[in-house]
A = this chain, B = another copy of it.
Amino acid sequence: MCPVRLTMPESDYPDIREVHLFAEMAEDSFEALMRGAYVQNFPPQIELITEGEPSDFLHVLLTGSVDLVSSWNGRETSMATVRPISTFILAATIRDAPYLMSARTLEKSRIALIPSQDVRAVFADDHVFARAIVTELAQCYRSVIKSQKDLKLRTSRERLANYLLRQQRRAGGAAGFDLEFEKRRLASVLGMTPENLSRAFKGLGAYGVAVDGTRITIEDQQDLERFAKSDPLIDDHTT
């Protein structure tokens, strides 16, 4: 039940260094961060953090995947999915404020926990790290704004079409590719019900989208693109 807790083995250092946030910082500030850090292995479906609780650690997902969800009045929605290697809940850590989302492992996951106070201390000391944090936060902010535009300006079918095109790119650009997670959660991420997602998929059949389980094939790229009207100011999640 209880996950194993151990101090960070040095073998993990290179992986963590790959994360933008830590890539450029001075070696000794990096090690200062690592000294206080832990690594834990979690089974699937474990609630790592709970909405509303105070934030003590910056989390770095090393392997596995984590779902960020929010709820209100008995309803729940998936806000984002974290994939390795990246950090999550940086903003709460920085502001020393309660989490706005809960985090739950989807698969068996390996996660590094860096005490928030260490992050803040090294931040004050290392310009390069400070700059990296600013860049990261600005990026996160812009990501949510894009997602908000997606929600407010598009119908669910349009959101799905654009999601498929984004996912296709990420998967390498071939006509056929796999959905990265189950439809149930995809529906929640896109802000709709599973039933509605099923129907949206069927509706996109008219534009050459074929679905077989988690396997998607885009039979007429142009037609789907004409329908989706992708916009870098909404769909490009790299800037």
Contact = CB atoms under 8 A, between A and B. Distances in A.
Interface stretch (A136-144, A174-182, A216-224): A136-144
A153 interface: yes
Given A91-B138, A92-B142, A239-B95, A71 B153 contact: yes
Interface size range of chain A in the complex: 35 or more
A95 B130 CA distance: 14
B145 A72 contact: no
A123 interface: yes
Given A142-B91, A149-B72, A233 B51 contact: yes
A100 interface: yes
Interface stretch (A10-18, A28-36, A73-81, A103-111): A73-81
A147 B141 CA distance: 12
Contacts of A79: 145, 148-149, 152
Of listed A141, A232, A233, residue having the most chain B CB within 10 A = A141
Nearest to A125: B127
Given A138-B95, A144-B141, A233 B149 contact: no
A231 to B, nearest CB: 6
Given A91-B142, A127-B130, A52 B135 contact: no
B100 A145 contact: yes
Nearest to A231: B72
A130 B123 CA distance: 9
Interface in A40-94: 51-52, 70-73, 75-77, 79, 90-92, 94
Contacts of A95: 135, 138-139, 142, 239
A131 interface: yes
Contact of A134 (B76, B97, B123, B232): B123
Nearest to A128: B124
B233 A153 contact: no
B73 A153 contact: yes
A149 B98 CA distance: 15
Interface string A127-170: 10011011101111110111111011110000000000000000
14 contacts: A70-B152, A71-B153, A72-B149, A72-B233, A77-B153, A79-B149, A79-B152, A94-B138, A95-B142, A100-B146, A101-B145, A127-B127, A151-B152, A152-B191
